[in-house]
Amino acid sequence: MAKVTPRSEDYSRWYTDVVQMADLADYAPVKGCMVVKPHGYALWENVQAGLDRRFKATGHVNAYFPLFIPISFIQKEAEHVEGFSPELAIVTIGGGKQLEEPLVVRPTSETVIGHMYAKWIQSYRDLPVLINQWGNVVRWEMRTRLFLRTTEFLWQEGHTAHATAEEAQEETLRMLDVYTEFAVEDAAIPVIPGRKSESEKFAGAVTSYTIEAMMGDYRALQSGTSHFLGQNFAKAFDIKFLDENNELQYVWTTSWGLSTRVVGAIVMVHGDDQGLVLPPKLAPIQVVVVPIWKNDSQRAVVLEAVTQVEKMLRDEVRLRVDDRDEYSPGWKFNEWELRGVPLRVEIGPRDVEQQQVTLARRDIPGREGKTAVPLSASVSEVQEMLLTIQADLYHRALKFREANTHTPRDYDEFQEAILNGFAYSWWCGDAGCEAQIKENTRATVRCIPLEQEPGKGKCIHCGEEANERAVFGRAY
């Protein structure tokens, strides 16, 4: 079996190798597009399930809006059109005829949803509107990478409308919390929730919030965003309601999104030189059973035990039994390790004799990650082990981020720090200062963390007074 390029040799090759060899995705005939293969799609479906459950628990419902948007819609909000224009795919011919008005393939749906909300919302009784959509969007990208940046990608976009600014702001932060909880609990990815700087915010937003994560090569990945849109889209699309005093008011809107990018984050945060390492909560296959035998008489007894274990586990975990004859156990170990299955159950003649099974953890390679447990207790042992793996993956990633987050004392140290990690520094908030930092270090303000220690300091770059600290890093 071909091996993935070691991370230490070429991180970027390693990433592409893992994504392709673990069967997550492949390149499509159109440059910048990707085919999400069944293993990758099953992972995405588990991401969807984890989020969808949380969206519904916070009062949201799903709907679907069209892929095509009249180009005039995009032009209605000044910042929005400026931000998205370079990335638009535009349809000018339909059914063999030149269209009267060109159609944009949605890069995001604020405009068309705003148009519909203007129709649907009349009175304060119609508010809030809490709708989410699962779909795809197209942003014409020049440099693409599987999952991380593709011309077409899958995502969800939530769009809400509220009677007051306070309510809309609350909603924006509530959804940032939902993303944080999902990242931490399901994806085992530690994230820093924070505010985007003015230059990094969503085109058309008043304030953008993000969850930022550190990848295995110390670079940052924006893993989900939530935007307070103020009344910008309400005014552009005339979304008004009669309030309780019978006065006409513009609504306040939010939008929030998380995409297939998160699959790239899962690969980079947890993966190793053997391939993918999946957090049990999201793994399409949580446990693989691999029988081991040398001759036919062993085969019969081993398979009998395997059937027994299968019966016990199949309703408890997402299980695969790999009893293929044409591959050796060693080959199967490699294959399931490459595909990131969190836990392997090995059953050989010795295990049968001892009435036990051997559990092998994906996140701890070799002997160290193996334990024998009584066959009769395999359900509880397996379940407990999956919980342990889930928790350990999170803590390992958190330790890695903490070890590589620096607090430089001056700009020289800052420039050094940014080469291999995040820098957590006082920052003045000035866009010019930010641009200079970016020019000489390639690092950007990833976010201004919501959690701030009190006090004031001097900006790490220009020395001006600073009220907040920001996380700087090089980003994907």
Q: How far is the CB of 438 from Zn ion (least distance, A)?
A: 12
Q: How far is the CB of 194 from Zn ion (least distance, A)?
A: 18
CB 233 within 8 A of CB 114: yes
Q: CB-based contacts of 408: which residues, under 8 Å, 6+ apart?
A: 414, 416, 417, 423, 425, 460
In terms of CB distance, is 78 or 435 closer to Zn ion? 435
Among 89, 173, 372, 462, the residue binding Zn ion under the rule CB under 5 A is 462
In terms of CB distance, is 59 or 463 closer to Zn ion? 463
Q: Does 361 bind Zn ion (CB under 5 A)?
A: no
Q: How far is the CB of 461 from Zn ion (least distance, A)?
A: 5
* Interactions with Zn ion, residue window 142-201 (CB under 5 A): none
H helices present in 201-295, as ranges: 232-237, 261-270
By rule CB under 5 A, what string of x and - marks binding of each residue 36-55 to Zn ion?
--------------------
**Among the candidate windows 130-138, 334-342, 414-422, 453-461, which touches Zn ion by CB under 5 A?**
453-461
* Interactions with Zn ion, residue window 370-429 (CB under 5 A): 428
State the pairing for strand pair 422-427/405-406: parallel
Q: How far is the CB of 114 from Zn ion (least distance, A)?
A: 36
Residue 69, φ and ψ in degrees, nearest 5: -130, 130
In terms of CB distance, is 221 or 445 closer to Zn ion? 445
In terms of CB distance, is 297 or 467 closer to Zn ion? 467
**Among the candidate windows 64-72, 187-195, 343-351, 462-470, which touches Zn ion by CB under 5 A?**
462-470
Q: Does 459 bind Zn ion (CB under 5 A)?
A: yes
311-to-286, 354, 372 alpha-carbon distances in Å? 16, 19, 19
Q: How far is the CB of 408 from Zn ion (least distance, A)?
A: 14
Q: How far is the CB of 412 from Zn ion (least distance, A)?
A: 16
In terms of CB distance, is 343 or 459 closer to Zn ion? 459
CB 243 within 8 A of CB 124: yes
C-alpha 218/C-alpha 199 separation (Å) is 22
In terms of CB distance, is 270 or 461 closer to Zn ion? 461
In terms of CB distance, is 258 or 433 closer to Zn ion? 433
- Tokens 């156990």 correspond to what residue? 329
**Among the candidate windows 37-45, 156-164, 256-264, 431-439, which touches Zn ion by CB under 5 A?**
431-439
Locate 356 and state its tokens: 């036990």
Among 461, 469, 470, 472, the residue binding Zn ion under the rule CB under 5 A is 461
Size of the site for Zn ion (CB under 5 A): 5
Q: Which of 68, 12, 259 is nearest to 152 (CA)?
A: 259
In terms of CB distance, is 370 or 458 closer to Zn ion? 458
Can you state the percent helix, strand and coil of the chain, rounding each to 5? 40, 30, 30
End-to-end CA distance of the chain: 30
Q: Does 448 bind Zn ion (CB under 5 A)?
A: no
**Among the candidate windows 65-73, 201-209, 231-239, 458-466, which touches Zn ion by CB under 5 A?**
458-466
Q: How far is the CB of 458 from Zn ion (least distance, A)?
A: 9
What one-character-per-residue DSSP string does 352-404 give?
A: HHTTEEEEEESSS-SGGGEEEEEGGGHHHHHHHHHHHHHHHHHHHHHHHHHHT
Q: Does 433 bind Zn ion (CB under 5 A)?
A: yes
In terms of CB distance, is 315 or 439 closer to Zn ion? 439
In terms of CB distance, is 229 or 428 closer to Zn ion? 428
Amino acid at residue number 169: Q
Q: How far is the CB of 436 from Zn ion (least distance, A)?
A: 8
Q: How far is the CB of 159 from Zn ion (least distance, A)?
A: 35
Q: How far is the CB of 434 from Zn ion (least distance, A)?
A: 8
C-alpha 144/C-alpha 133 separation (Å) is 24
Q: How far is the CB of 423 from Zn ion (least distance, A)?
A: 13
What one-character-per-residue DSSP string does 108-158 give?
A: --HHHHHHHHHHH--BGGG--EEEEEEEEEE---SS-BTTTB-SEEEEEEE
Locate 354 and state its tokens: 């001892």
Provide the sign of the torsion angle of the four alpha carbons 269, 275, 279, 284, taken in this order: positive
In terms of CB distance, is 157 or 434 closer to Zn ion? 434
Residue 467, φ and ψ in degrees, nearest 5: -95, -15
Residues that bind Zn ion (CB under 5 A): 428, 433, 459, 461-462
